[in-house]
Structure 1
Amino acid sequence: MSILEVKGLKKTYTTRFGGNQVQALKNVSFSVEEGEYVAIMGESGSGKTTLLNILAALDKPTGGTVLLDGKNLADIKETAMAEFRRDNLGFVFQDFNLLDTFSLEDNIYLPLVLAGKNYREMHKRLEPIAKQLGITQLLKKYPYEVSGGQKQRAAVARALITHPKLILADEPTGALDSKSSDELLDLFSAINQDKQTIVMVTHSVKAASHAGRVLFIKDGEVFHQIYKGHHTRQELYQKISDTLTLLTTGGDRA
């Protein structure tokens, strides 16, 4: 069953004073099955960040549709959009987006506080997530007291605690060292094995090789896609590297 359907997506920006138009997305169509783990790759300026922003309902397309669990994002009223995001989407950002004046625990609780949940329910939800992510002993600490990898684990916990239909990750390993990146990617794989749907935008071949499918965006369109299938992670890594080479050297769509 498709949890996310993107059909004929277009996005055109008009430069300041209306001088020029920039077509960030031309005609993007794909679907994501429930429980799937999809990575989106492409060169800077390819349109992948614009695509992520539209999937997150932070930007509106010029044309086409995005359906999340059968609901057209365009039909959601502006006044209800923040609540829709909070209830259906989990976000993991490159720079963590944690509040320094809140403990990790309070940062994680924030979306549930905004949703009006009581403390008992929040604690009940957090306990297994914190255990899975290995941050139980860190919950009373503040962001400035922990490492980058630990901050990102807290950010993942915040994304998971609302039981979202879809997690959107924007360069989640971008600010982490190699060891922390590996640990985070292993956690993402474990979370996905628990049937959590993940869509991740990344420049990292290593990060993308953990996904079950990789979509490549070029000049605002889907250029190619690779399914992991029976391939090992190393084999997928090589296939991703080869496709990125094809993108940068102007090869034809595969």
Structure 2
Amino acid sequence: MTILDVKNLKKIYTTRFGGNQVQALSNVSFSVEEGEYVAIMGESGSGKTTLLNILAALDKPTSGEVFLNGQNIVQIREKEISAFRRDNLGFVFQDFNLLDTFSIQDNIFLPLVLAGKQYKEMAKRLKPIAAKLGIGDILKKYPYEVSGGQKQRTAVARALITSPQLILADEPTGALDSNAADGLLRLFGEINEEGQTILMVTHSTKAASHAKRVLFIKDGEVFHQIYKANMSDEEMFAKISDTLTVLQTGGGNRG
């Protein structure tokens, strides 16, 4: 079943001074099936961050549509958009976006608190997630007391606790050392195997090689895609590297 359907997205920004127009997205169309794990790659300025912001309902396209489980998120009214994001999307950011004055547990609980859930229900939801992510022993600590890997696992727990339809990850391994990054990628793989749909924007070929499909964005359009199928992580890494070389050397559209 298609969970995310992106149709003919275009985004044009008008600069503040001079009124020049910059086209960030030209004509982006793709779909994501329920339970998929998709990575989006592209050089800086390719439009992938703009695309992620639109998928996250943080920005609106100039034209085009984005359907999440059949609902066109482009048409959601401004006063309803925060609740929509909270109830349907989970976010994992490069810089964790944790509140230093909140304990690890309270950071994870935050979206449920905003949704008006009772403590008993929040605690019930947290227990299996904390056990799976290996953070049960740090719940009473504060973000400044734990490692980068533990912070990112906290962010993943916060994303999962609302049972989102889709997890959006923005450079999730960008601030982690290699060991913590490997641990996070294994974790994403396990979460995906359990049925969670994940869409990740990344510059990291290693991170993308763990996904089941990679979309490449160039000049505001989908340039190419690779399905992992039966490839190993190493074979996927090589395929991605080859495609990035074509991107960087100005190869034509490969569809």
TM bin (shorter chain): over 0.9
Aligned equivalent of 1:103: 103
1:16 counterpart SS class = coil
**1:77-131 alpha-carbon deviations (Å, 9 max, x no partner):** 1111000000000000000000000000000000000000000100010000000
Aligned equivalent of 2:27: 27
1:58 counterpart SS class = coil
- Letter of the structure 2 residue corresponding to residue 29 of structure 1: S
- Letter of the structure 1 residue corresponding to residue 247 of structure 2: L
For the aligned residue pairs, the C-alpha RMSD in angstroms reads 0.6
Structure 1 ranges of 4+ moved more than 6 A? none
Aligned equivalent of 1:203: 203
Aligned equivalent of 1:71: 71
- Letter of the structure 1 residue corresponding to residue 3 of structure 2: I
Give the C-alpha shift of residue 18 in structure 1: 4.7
Question: In the comparison of the two structures, how many residue pairs are matched?
Answer: 254
1:62 pairs with 2:86: no
Aligned equivalent of 2:149: 149
**1:193-249 alpha-carbon deviations (Å, 9 max, x no partner):** 010000000000000000000000000000000000111111000000000000000
Aligned equivalent of 1:212: 212
- Letter of the structure 1 residue corresponding to residue 188 of structure 2: F
Aligned equivalent of 2:139: 139
Q: Percent identity?
A: 76
2:17 counterpart SS class = helix
Gaps of 5+ in 1: none
- Letter of the structure 1 residue corresponding to residue 238 of structure 2: Q
Gaps of 5+ in 2: none
2:128 counterpart SS class = helix
TM-score by length of 2: 0.99
- Letter of the structure 1 residue corresponding to residue 73 of structure 2: L
Aligned equivalent of 2:117: 117
Cα distance in 2 between the residues matched to 1:2 and 1:17: 41
Give the C-alpha shift of residue 75 in structure 1: 2.2
Aligned equivalent of 1:224: 224
- Letter of the structure 2 residue corresponding to residue 227 of structure 1: Y
Return 171-180 or 72-81, whichever deviates more: 72-81
Cα distance in 2 between the residues matched to 1:172 and 1:188: 10
**1:158-198 alpha-carbon deviations (Å, 9 max, x no partner):** 00000000000000000000000000000000000010000
- Letter of the structure 2 residue corresponding to residue 48 of structure 1: K
Cα distance in 1 between the residues matched to 2:196 and 2:82: 21
Cα distance in 2 between the residues matched to 1:175 and 1:183: 13
